[in-house]
Amino acid sequence: MNELRRDYFLDRWVIIAVDRAKRPSDFVHAREPASGSQDCSFCPGQESKTPPSKASYFDGDHGPDEPGKPPQTGWTVRVIPNMYPAVRQEEVHIRRDMGMTASGVHEVVVESPGHDHHPQFMADDEIRRLFRVYRDRFAEIAGIPYVRYISVFRNYGKEAGASLAHPHSQIIALPIVPRDIDEQRGFDYGLVIEDEADSPRLILDSKHTVAIAPFASCFTYEAWVIPKRKCRNLTEMTDEERDDFALVTRDVLARLSKLLSDPPYNYAFVQSIDDDIHIHLRICPKLGVEAGFELNTGVHINSVTPENAAKSLREV
């Protein structure tokens, strides 16, 4: 029987449509091959095609490209300004009509020199380094006085909004706290971890991190990765906790890749500079499209129960 499920904390609902249940293989579709690396501006040797790096990582050490000198090569991760930014780093000016300048920071994290080496395929040291870069960028950007929220996210595949095939994620810092984030202040994710620890929705459980299929999953095979100790953001985690967080995230992505033949997905961190939020990462595979009902009501229809999704991901 189909059922309506409510979010853990928010007044948001999803229809779990078991009458339309599908097997994992039903979501596997032929995908367009990734574009080649010949003209990729993110590949090694093409650094002059992008703005100078804000930070370049070389197996541990990092630093910006020096002004007036050729861009550095030999990097493992590179952070650059977005060439077509949604926001620009400038002082905030509020207008009389209640609008304001789109002030902020928009960066691209080029995650690997390998053109097809995405997080779901990374080795332990590579994914740990990527999360360290996320931490470093969060710490630096949070020091800008007018920045109130920092969104760290990843689009993988054209269906998920990725315009370039080379492995990359993005960071957009805003002078406001978005409503969806603000509404999560004060929620006790410790209760979620406790409730899901022995539930059929548990995917992975490590020393510092759990991964679950949330009770009211909006997206088919949606997964949340949650550190067990409450921290507001990556800078408040110990190195061991952050490394564990990274490895569990990689493992969930690898399981999704194996189960669903490397599907398109988005992932995004929910974290805060100084509000009472429990940091976690939400992974949302893009296996369908939002149609009229979802756009009209905000209620999603999910044809795979979170319990079955978690079971498949545990067993793959």
Residue 21 reports pLDDT greater than 70 = no
147-167 pLDDT tens trace: 999 999 999 999 999 989 999
**Considering 168, 278, 280, 300, which one is annotated as catalytic?**
168
CATH number, domain containing residue 57? 3.30.428.10
Q: What is the pLDDT of residue 126?
A: 97
Cβ atoms of 48 and 70 closer than 8 Å:
yes
245-302 pLDDT tens trace: 999 999 999 999 999 999 999 999 999 999 999 999 999 999 988 889 999 999 999 9
Cβ atoms of 88 and 102 closer than 8 Å:
yes
Instruction: Give the C-alpha separation, 193 to 298, whole Å.
Output: 26
117-142 pLDDT tens trace: 999 999 999 999 999 999 999 999 99
What is the number of structural domains in the chain? 1
Q: What is the pLDDT of residue 266?
A: 98
Structural domain harbouring 138: 3-30+38-315
Per-residue tokens: 186: 């004060």
Residue with tokens 């939002």: 290
Residue 24 reports pLDDT greater than 90 = no
Q: What is the pLDDT of residue 26?
A: 67
Cβ atoms of 216 and 7 closer than 8 Å:
yes
Stated pTM of the model = 0.94
- What is the number of other CB atoms lying within 10 angstroms of the CB of residue 275? 16
Residue 71 reports pLDDT greater than 80 = no
| Average pLDDT of span 212-241 | 98
Instruction: Give the C-alpha separation, 201 to 290, whole Å.
Output: 24
DSSP state for residue 102 in the 8-state scheme: -
Closest to 151 in 3D by CA, of 167, 138, 164, 163: 138
Give catalytic status of residue 62 as yes or no. Answer: no
